[in-house]
Structure 1
Amino acid sequence: MSMDYKKAGVDIAAGEALVDWLKSNQPPKWPHQERLVSGIGGFAALFRGGFPEMESPCLVSCTDGVGTKLKLAVEFHSYHRVAQDLVAMCVNDMVCSGASPLFFLDYYACGKLDVEKAKQFLTGLQKACLESDCLLIGGETAEMPGVYAGDDFDCAGFSVGVVDEPKVLGAHRVQPGDVAIGVSSSGFHSNGFSLLRKIFASDLAEWADRLLEPTALYVKLAKRLMEIAEVHAFAHVTGGGMDNLLRVIPKGTQLQLKPWSIPQPFLEVKRRGQMSWRSLLQTLNCGIGFVVYAPERDESVIRETIRALGFESWRLAELSDPMEGESQWSMNEEELNAQL
């Protein structure tokens, strides 16, 4: 029997059709489009550098994936929503350095390319990139029969941004007396899904819409806050939950977290999984997707801006002088139990 690549499971024509569709379905105007030399369809994408308004421009890179949330996306045909997750996981990390995203690339791998599903995914990527002031400059689609079974697929994202080195945010800026302001999440975001799929296995369809709510995009919020206030650091709350708050503060800082309104789905996870508060808060975002560290004098304008952009906020902690040892966070469990 004669063989060719298509009989072996790889349809080059389908991949080419997808690229042609993407090239002909571009938004009227991309962010940073004036810097684009060549993009989708070539061997590599070219983007003009040069930032004369900056004293010492630094390129900032981030890469990430969506994890086992993809299993739910396949089961409930929600490809456009996990595309936003992919963008958010990269660009939300990026802005924690004070950077502005410039462009984004994706890697999409599957066992058999379904062009219509891939179109849904790419449409979601485009929308999320536009909302994040980021140019979708290129990517890769890989069809790998025998590696991925059935409708399974995987995706990874890569983003590049820029920040002026004297304006980089982080622990070197955070000071005693600063406040930590929590910004609401949109739901479970993109981590903890190996646990969540087990917790909700008996009634997964009932919970699917809440589980698949895309990760909130914090780029525009972060950029606006840097314009109107003296921001010292941002933290993106992903895997590790509240432990992420410690990544951008001076070593030895102790955070006594104040209570916030934990959304009911997180409390349901605690109940079903018989989880301790600490285990829950070190696994899931529990309603806090992003944290701002800033001087107390700027708290009011920061929280007003957060509200104006459609998020809720809470004062989580006041920072004190660092102590010997590692940074730690703690919460009053009696206050947490009052929410059950």
Structure 2
Amino acid sequence: MALDYKKAGVDIAAGEALVDWLKSESQGSQPHQERLVSGIGGFAALFRAQFPEMKKPCLVSATDGVGTKLKLAVEFDRYEGIGQDLVAMCVNDLICCGARPLFFLDYYAVGQLDLNRAKVFLSGLRNACVESDCALIGGETAEMPGVYQGKDFDCAGFAVGVVDEDKVLGAHRVQEGDVLVGVPSSGFHSNGYSLLRQVFVEDRSEWVDELLKPTALYVKALHEVLSVSDQVHAVAHITGGGMDNLLRVLPDGFSAILRPWDIPKPFKVVQERAQLSQEQLLKTFNCGVGMILVVSPSQASAIHQSLRRSGFSSFDLGEVVASPGQEKQWQL
């Protein structure tokens, strides 16, 4: 029997059709359009990197995926939020440095390319890029029969942003007495799903809306905060590992004292079903806190107001304390 690439499971025409569709959808409507020299469809994408408003422009990069949340998307044939998940996991990391996103690339791998599913995924991804003021300039669609079975797929994202080096946020700015401002998550975001799929194995259909809520996009809200206050010292994106992510923005010799907050019901259901201790829960999931801002106490009120104007509630989550000679930690 004669064979060709399509019979072997790779439909080049379908891949080209997907690229053409995405190019037409994105034509002339990209963030940073004036910086795009070339974009989707070429061997590489070109972006003008001129930042005269910055003294020492520093490029910032981040990459991430969506993890086993993809298994639920496949199981329920719901892909509309996965593209946003992918963008959010990357650009929310960029903002932790104080960077503003510039451009984004994606990697989408399947066993067999289904144009409708791919378009739903990419539409969500593109919309999330627009919401985050980030140009979608390229990517890779890989059709790999034999590697992925049935409708299984994987995706990865790559984001690049820029920040003035003198304004980089991080542990080096954090001081004793700084206030921790918690910004709510939209749900489980994109972490902990290997456990969640087991916890809800008997009633996933009843929980699917909650489980597939897309990850919140914080970029615009946090850039608004940074525009009104220069007293944001650090930002922690609460992803896999839960509250332990806060330790990444604490300098040696300092710890965080957290105040109790109202943990949303879905997390409490997981705690009960999985028989997790409070510490295990807080070290696995975001528990309703998507971002933590470490700020000067004098600016906490103004920062809460700015977040409200951007559509986010917020609350005082605790404070930074000196702990000389001790390993940095958080305590509730």
What TM-score range do you get, normalising by the shorter chain?
over 0.9
After TM superposition, the structure 1 = structure 2 runs for residues 102-251 of structure 1, keeping only pairs within 5 Å, are: 102-229=102-229, 230-251=231-252
- State the 1:310 CA deviation: 2.0
After TM superposition, the structure 1 = structure 2 runs for residues 322-333 of structure 1, keeping only pairs within 5 Å, are: 322-331=323-332
Give a deviation string over 1:48-75, Cα, whole Å, max 9, x none.
1111111111100000000000001111
Letter aligned with residue 134 of structure 1: C
Letter aligned with residue 249 of structure 1: L
2:56 & 2:49 partners in 1: Cα distance?
A: 13
Tell me if structure 1 keeps the 8 A contact 2:257–2:321.
no
Give a deviation string over 1:3-40, Cα, whole Å, max 9, x none.
10001000001101111111111265221110000000
1:287 & 1:321 partners in 2: Cα distance?
A: 26
After TM superposition, the structure 1 = structure 2 runs for residues 72-111 of structure 1, keeping only pairs within 5 Å, are: 72-111=72-111
Tell me if structure 1 keeps the 8 A contact 2:238–2:290.
yes
- State the 1:256 CA deviation: 1.7
Identical-residue share of aligned pairs (%): 65
Give a deviation string over 1:142-183, Cα, whole Å, max 9, x none.
000000000000000000000100000001111111101110
Residue 317 of structure 1 aligns with which residue? 318
2:312 & 2:282 partners in 1: Cα distance?
A: 20
Number of aligned pairs? Answer: 331
Residue 265 of structure 1 aligns with which residue? 266
Give a deviation string over 1:40-98, Cα, whole Å, max 9, x none.
01100000111111111110000000000000111112212011000000000011001
**SS in structure 2 opposite 1:154?**
strand
Give a deviation string over 1:283-327, Cα, whole Å, max 9, x none.
000000001111101111111122222222121112122421321
Q: Normalising by structure 1, what TM-score? A: 0.96
1:114 & 1:206 partners in 2: Cα distance?
A: 27
2:26 & 2:321 partners in 1: Cα distance?
A: 50
List structure 1 runs of 4+ shifted beyond 6 angstroms. Answer: none
Tell me if structure 2 keeps the 8 A contact 1:254–1:323.
no
Q: Normalising by structure 2, what TM-score? A: 0.98
Letter aligned with residue 244 of structure 1: N
2:29 & 2:43 partners in 1: Cα distance?
A: 23
**Gaps (5+ residues) in structure 1?**
332-340
1:60 & 1:246 partners in 2: Cα distance?
A: 21
1:301 & 1:27 partners in 2: Cα distance?
A: 39
Cα distance change, pair 27–43 in 1 and its aligned pair in 2 (3 A): closer
Q: In angstroms, what is the RMSD of aligned CA positions?
A: 0.9
**Gaps (5+ residues) in structure 2?**
none
Tell me if structure 2 keeps the 8 A contact 1:59–1:162.
yes
1:289 and 2:312 matched: no
Q: Which moved more, 1:69-78 or 1:108-117?
A: 69-78
Letter aligned with residue 92 of structure 2: N
2:131 & 2:144 partners in 1: Cα distance?
A: 31
Give a deviation string over 1:75-134, Cα, whole Å, max 9, x none.
112212011000000000011001000000000000000001000011001110011010
**SS in structure 1 opposite 2:202?**
helix
Residue 256 of structure 1 aligns with which residue? 257
**SS in structure 1 opposite 2:322?**
coil
Residue 5 of structure 1 aligns with which residue? 5
Letter aligned with residue 166 of structure 1: D
Cα distance change, pair 95–165 in 1 and its aligned pair in 2 (3 A): same
Letter aligned with residue 149 of structure 1: Q
**SS in structure 1 opposite 2:129?**
helix
1:27 & 1:8 partners in 2: Cα distance?
A: 33
**SS in structure 1 opposite 2:262?**
coil
